[in-house]
Each structure stands twice: as C-alpha cells, then as structure tokens.
Amino acid sequence: MKKGDKVKCIDDYFEDSNTNPFHIREINIPKENQNYTIREVVRTDYGTGVRLVEVINKKYYFKNINREEEPIFGSNRFKSLKK
C-alpha cells in the first residue's frame, strides 16, 4: 500500500485500548465495505498503519512516542482495490 492507493475497509471493529490517548467514540473511524484513499502510510514498531483522505482526526499526545499524532488505522483492516 502506498499514498494515493484506493482501498476498501474490511474490518471496522475497534475497541478502546489503554495505550491510546482517546476513546473510540471520540474519533472518526473507517466503516466496513466503504472505499477510501490512502493519505499516508506510517510504519511503527507495531506494524504498518494508514491515514485516509476521507477520515480526518485531531492529534493526540501518545506517551509511547512522546509526541502528538493523528491516529492511524492498521493496514490489515483494508483490502487494496486494484484497477
């Protein structure tokens, strides 16, 4: 996956986590079976995540990386839409 790729959300089940500085109900999340465009690909110690053109969130302070970032969504939650 790369910036500009079209993807479909295949998993929109999200739970709150003690490691996240937000509650799921506070953020915009992708919806299953909806198509999106990758805005950014982010590599982390936990895997690869994406930010989407159609889903914008405010930044939150993440203690584990010691800075503010917009939340990302695991790339495994999306299926690439090949042309």
How confident is the prediction along the chain (83 residues), in pLDDT tens digits per residue?
999 999 999 999 988 888 787 888 899 999 999 999 999 999 988 899 999 999 999 999 988 888 899 999 999 999 999 86
Q: Where are the domains positioned within the chain? A: 6-80
What CA–CA distance (Å, rounded) separates 13 from 53?
20
Please tell me the pTM assigned to this model: 0.87
DSSP letter at 55 equals B
CA neighbours closer than 13 Å in the CB half-sphere of residue 37: 4
**What is the phi-psi region of residue 33: left when phi exceeds 0, alpha when psi lies from -120 to 50, beta otherwise?**
left
